[in-house]
Amino acid sequence: MAQLLVIQFLITTKDNRIDMISLNNINKTYFTGSNSLHVLKGVDLNIEKGELVSIMGSSGSGKSTLLNIIGMLDNYDSGEFHLNGEFIQKMSEKKAAYYRNKFIGFVFQSFNLISFKNAMENVALPLYYQKVSRKKRNIKAMEYLEKMGLAEWAEHLPSELSGGQKQRLAIARALISEPKVILADEPTGALDSATSMEVMDLFHEINDMGITILIVTHERDIAAKTDRIVKLKDGIVDSIISNGERKKWLADQVMA
């Protein structure tokens, strides 16, 4: 099933060459009082549908800033940003909320779970904003909790879970609205290396389902597990390292 999806996607992308994320000369400056900080100085980056890409760079290089712009949590000053072929510019908060809900799933370093909602309710939350009935969304939330191996923790509050469990919960929440893109800002930053690898395995599974994933990370071994590594430096894309030809190989298999 998952493979079929990938095949289908590969065929369509080959024909249309539509990038899931397309950034063209993106600029962003922060103003704090009288100071201004030019963080992004013309970022060019294209990410295809179904790619698993990591972003690296030193602290303060603008990784999070870039991710937040892609996630429509923040706006950019100049340049062009297309998401799934659609030009994203300054839009009403209502429309932005719609896109965030429908197209994007966020995973944060600090999990960002709602403390007074139990695991199931946290996972179900994005569907709440789609006005799905409580019963339906809880059923679906349970499915995703099961996939994450968290079914027995459904009634627990986030404070009763371990870091790894919390991050799996957050990933379940990001997935429940069936987004096109998952944006993860240092998702393993608060986890030990074993748990980090588990989370990466999870991302791979999700990626195999055809969902585009963008991960900001400081860790080499995390980045090594992605298709491409984008290095940010001084506000621009410094270099892009391709991490093997996994996708191409798969496509060749299908053609033959």
Partner 1 sequence: MSIIDIDKWQEIFYALKKNKLRTFFTAFGVFWGIFMLIIMLGSGRGLSNGVSQGMGDMATNAMFMWTQQTTVPYKGFPRGRRYNFNNDDTQALIDNIPEIEYIAPRLQVFSAGENGNNVVRGERTAAFTIQGDYPDFNLIDPVNIHQGRFINDIDIKQKRKNVVIGTRVFEEMFEPDEDPIGEYIRIQGVYFRVVGVFSSKKNDQQAERENSQIFMPFTTMQQTYNFGNIVGWYSITAKEGYKVSQVLEKAIDIMRERHSISPADERAVGSFNLEEEFRKMTTLFTGIDGLIWIVGIGTLLAGVIGVSNIMLIVVKERTKEIGIQRALGAAPFSIKSQIVIESVFLTTIAGYVGLALGVGVLELINNILIQTNASTDMFNNPEVDFNKAISALVILVIAGAVAGLIPAQRAVQIKPIDALRDE
Chain residues that interact with partner 1, rule: CB under 8 A: 68, 71, 73-75, 93-94, 96-98, 100-102, 106, 108, 112-117, 121, 125-126, 128-130, 134, 173, 177
State the minimum distance, in angstroms, from the CB of residue 59 to partner 1: 15
State the minimum distance, in angstroms, from the CB of residue 145 to partner 1: 17
User: Among 177, 184, 173, 178, which residue's Cα sits nearest to residue 66?
Assistant: 184
Instruction: Please choose which of Mg ion, partner 1, ligand ATP, none residue 121 contacts, taking the beta carbon within 5 to 8 angstroms, the exact cut-off set by kind.
Output: partner 1
Instruction: Please choose which of Mg ion, partner 1, ligand ATP, none residue 129 contacts, taking the beta carbon within 5 to 8 angstroms, the exact cut-off set by kind.
Output: partner 1
Binding residues vs ligand ATP (CB under 6 A): 30, 32, 37, 39, 57, 59-65
Q: Which two tokens stand for residue 168?
A: 């799996």
Restricting to residues 45-64, which ones interact with Mg ion according to CB under 5 A? 64
State the minimum distance, in angstroms, from the CB of residue 100 to partner 1: 5
For residues 6 and 208, the answer to whether their CB atoms sit within 8 Å is yes
> Which ranges constitute the DSSP H helices of the chain?
2-16, 63-70, 93-103, 119-128, 134-147, 163-176, 193-208, 220-223, 246-255
CA atoms within 13 A on the CB side of 106: 21
